[in-house]
Structure formats: structure tokens, C-alpha cells
Amino acid sequence: MTGVATLNEVLALLALLLVAAVGTVAVLTRDPSRQAVVLAVLGLGLALLFTVLQAPDVALSQLGVGTAVTPLLIMLTVRRIRSKEHQARQGERDERGGPDGTGANGRGGGS
């Protein structure tokens, strides 16, 4: 039993290193919309790790939550706040009576 690592353990080691590296990158990515993409990769890496660790149930929910729901929520929040800031800037310009005083319609359209 001792000494020799099984294939499963080698895969677990690789997945662990991947998760540690991607997690570090996710923290160091200061731009939230970029971070959302890295978090999606982290979610995928975690799902991979959980599968190797014989936890298909957890991998399944991590796959849905980590790669889809959480990054999507972050993206939506970023867009909401950006469009709000855009509106505020446009509003200020309108107040100064700038040439483009067409009202604040800076909402994001479709997808």
C-alpha cells in the first residue's frame, strides 16, 4: 500500500495544484469582470478535483454553481454598476449643459 501512488492520487495531486494556482490567480485578478472568468475556471478545477476525490455529488453541484451561477452573478453586478456610473457621468455632463444633453439613457441593451 505504501510508497506507490495510485493513478487516482496522481490526478488528485495535479488537480490540487491546479486549484491552488487558479485560486491565487483569481485573488490577484483585481478587475471583477476578469475575476469572474477566473472563478469559472476555478469552479471547473474544483469540480475536476472533487470527481477525482470520488465525490460526484459535490462535483455536480460545484459544476453548476462554480462555473455558471457565481460568475454570472458577478458579471451582472459589474455591468449594473458600470452602467450606473456611466449614467452618473452623463448626468453630470448634462448638468453642465454639454453638447450631448440628450438625457441619461445609458442602460445596457440586450446581451
Partner 1 sequence: MSRTARIRLFWGAAAVIAALYTMACLRLPHFGTAVHPYGDRAVAATLRQRTANTISSINFDQRAFDTLGEESILFGAVLGATALLRRTSHDHNTRPRPVRVLPSTRLFGALLLPVALLTGIYIVAHGQLSPGGGFQGGVVLATALHLAYVAADYRALQRIRPRELLDQADAVAAGAFTVLGLAGLVAGVAYLQNVLPLGTFNTLSSGGLVPVINAAVGIEVASGVIVVLAYFLDQTLFATGPAGGAFRKKAER
Partner 2 sequence: MNLLGPLPYLVAGWLLLVGVYGLVTSRNLIHAVGCLAVAQSSTYVLLLTVGFRRGGTAPVYSDTSPRSVVVDPVVQALALTDVVVGATVTALLLALVIQLHNRHSTIDPDRLNALRG
The item of partner 1, partner 2, none sharing an interface with residue 104, based on CB under 5 to 8 Å by kind, is: partner 1
Contacts of 67 (CB under 8 A, 6+ apart): 40, 43, 44, 47
Amino acid in the structure at residue 91: G
Q: Residue 87, interface with partner 1 (CB under 8 A)?
A: yes
Q: Indicate the residue among 99 and 106 with the shorter CB distance to partner 2.
A: 106
- Host H or E run for residue 6: none
Beta strands in 1-111, from DSSP E residues, in sequence order? none
Q: Residue 78, interface with partner 2 (CB under 8 A)?
A: yes
Q: Is 54 helix (H, G, I), strand (E, B) or coil?
A: coil
CA–CA distance, 8 with 53 (Å, rounded to integer): 8
Residue 87 in grid coordinates: 449614467
CA–CA distance, 2 with 18 (Å, rounded to integer): 25
Which residues here bind partner 1, judged by CB under 8 A? 9, 56-57, 59-61, 64-65, 68-69, 72-73, 76-77, 79-80, 83-84, 87-88, 90-92, 94-95, 101, 103-104, 106-111
Which residues here bind partner 2, judged by CB under 8 A? 1-3, 5-6, 9-10, 12-13, 16-17, 19-20, 23-24, 26-32, 35-36, 39, 42, 46, 49-50, 53-58, 61-62, 65-66, 69-70, 73-74, 76-78, 80-81, 84-85, 88
